Amino acid sequence: MQPISSTAFSNPTELFVAATNDRKNEKQPVLGKVLHVINGEHFSGAERVQQLLGKRLDQYGFETSFACIKPGRFREHCELRESQLNDFPMAGRLDFSIVSQIARKVVAEEFDLLHAHTPRSSLITAMVAHRTKRPWLYHVHSPTSRDSTRGVVNRINQWIESYSVRSADRILTVSKSLRREMLKRGVQRRRLSVVPNGVPAIEPIDCAARKHSQRWRVGMLALMRPRKGVEIALQAMRLLRDKHIPISLDLIGGFETKEYEDQILWLIESMGLSDSVTWRGFTREVPLAISKLDALVLPSLFGEGMPMVVLEALAAGVPVVATRVEGTPEVVRHGIEGLLAKPCDANDLATQLHRLVSDRDTWSNMSQAAVLRHRSHFSDDRMAQRVARAYEATLS
């Protein structure tokens, strides 16, 4: 796919139409059938990658189905065909009875390839692959050792992942930083492929319509959990409020636990931010939610592979203020598509937000650069094509 020329900046609608027309819509001859083994409990960044692959890979010759071993929000919120979705619920972490169930499906429906996406699903997939003599791939979406603030759980998941992927034919990482991490863990270079995440093109925001707006609306869209840095965002908002900056923050997404939800909502009230910080809850309409923002804020502390929400912000032409965490700087270039702050530093985050909202002209330039960055590097077509190539290499 060829990037769009910067001359298209003069008309965002034409840019959107060009992006839409450029997509490959013709279904290709079937090269193979792939069963994705996923958790399915949540519907966040990794699950949106899985959904897009399920929708796009048939255009590159691969039929896809999904086996959910922790059925939950994925089935509820994804936009895949019912025929693509299959539930194999595990009764617990040590329930391996589903291995034989999935293996029977693989043989009966003649799947050619297996594709796992989480440490737990990698262990199940390794067993199924061994039993059915099928090749399999593992997709690394985030650094397992830093996926949460629960150290013991991280170590267990990393051990499970390291043990399981020894038999994987190929390992896909969503960023160069994750590739380096897998190399440090002893994975052979020849088995690794970097496949950056991608999202569909959407109509970008109209910068001209907001040029004279004095009020700034920024938003944080995520599965709210401690490593996302919600507390840092709230501290930055208090600093900006004390400087009388006309800015508000939307928290868009569900919370990982009810306890953490109560903690954050109490913090908003106790910090006196109820008039400028609003929790909007979970939404399926991510592009619509982002298009209402002037900037996306992602103050992650650690554990980011390549955040889907950042790519969705670029597609919408919404500048990003994020932290310099792992895969994020591979997407957002400081001062071009957005601004990068130090992780765990509310003062620096407030400084970067203040810098962004101080100049609508600079903000408009960042918006235009964001759209071009998405189109040239992070489209869903590009992602699906690279995954298909990895499939072909594995099957050959």
Do residues 225 and 99 share a domain? no
For residue 258, give the H/E element and its range: helix 258-270
pLDDT at 327: 87
Do residues 305 and 339 both lie within one domain? Answer: yes
Are 152 and 238 in the same domain? no
Q: Is residue 207 within 8 Å of residue 364, measured between CB atoms?
A: yes
Positive or negative, the Cα torsion across 276, 280, 286, 288?
Answer: negative
Q: Report if residue 7 sits inside a domain.
A: no
Non-local (6+) Cβ contacts of 135 within 8 A are 112, 113, 114, 129, 169, 170, 394, 395
pLDDT band at 142 (very low <50, low <70, confident <90, very high): confident
Strands of the sheet with 136-140, listed across from one edge:
85-87, 62-68, 32-38, 113-116, 136-140, 170-173, 192-194
> Does residue 214 share a domain with residue 180?
no
Is residue 335, in this structure, part of any structural domain at all? yes
Please write down the HEC assignment for all residues of 291-334. HCCCEEEECCCCCCCCCHHHHHHHHHCCCEEEECCCCHHHCCCE
Check whether residue 274 and residue 373 sit in a common domain.
yes
* Interval 16-66: pLDDT, tens: 445 444 544 555 688 899 999 999 888 888 899 999 999 999 999 999 999
For the segment 170-199, what is each residue's pLDDT rounded down to a tens digit? 999 999 999 999 999 999 999 999 999 999
The answer to whether residue 4 is domain-embedded is: no
What is the domain extent for residue 333?
208-377
Three-point CA angle 287, 292, 295, nearest 5°: 95
Is the residue at 3 inside a domain?
A: no
Greater confidence (254 vs 107) lies with: 107
54 part of a folded domain: yes
* Mean pLDDT score of the chain: 89
pLDDT over 70 at 109, yes or no: yes
Q: Is residue 2 in some structural domain?
A: no
Number of domains in the chain: 2
pLDDT at 83: 94
pLDDT of 149 higher than 70: no
Please, which pLDDT band fits residue 147 given cuts at 50, 70 and 90? Answer: low
Residue 4, pLDDT above cutoff 80:
no
Give this prediction's pTM. Answer: 0.83
Q: Are residues 236 and 361 in the same domain?
A: yes
Instruction: Give the pLDDT confidence score for residue 282 in this predicted structure.
Output: 87
How far is the CA of 133 from the CAs of 104, 107, 244, in angstroms? 12, 10, 64
Report the range of poorest mean pLDDT among 3-12, 86-95, 117-126, 344-353.
3-12
Is 309 among the domain residues? yes
> Rounded mean pLDDT of 274-300?
92
For residue 191, tell me if it sits in a domain: yes
Q: What is the mean pLDDT of residues 113-127?
A: 95
**Looking at the structure, do residues 341 and 386 belong to the same domain, yes or no?**
no
* Residues 220 and 173 grouped into a single domain: no
Q: Do residue 133 and residue 259 come from a single domain?
A: no
Give the tens place of pLDDT for each residue, 211-234: 888 899 999 998 898 889 999 999
Residue 13 and residue 10: Cα distance in Å, rounded?
Answer: 9
pLDDT at 6: 42
Alpha helices in 57-140 (DSSP H): 73-77, 97-108, 119-132
Residues 143 and 237 in one domain: no
Whether residues 63 and 164 fall in one domain: yes
Q: How many residues does the chain have?
A: 396
Residue 306: exposure state from Cβ atoms within 10 A (0-12, 13-18, ≥19): buried
- 300: domain CATH number is 3.40.50.2000
pLDDT at 314 over 90: yes
Please give the pLDDT value at position 27.
57
What is the pLDDT, as a whole number, of residue 2? 39
Same domain, 150 and 173: yes
* In the chain, % of residues over pLDDT 70: 92
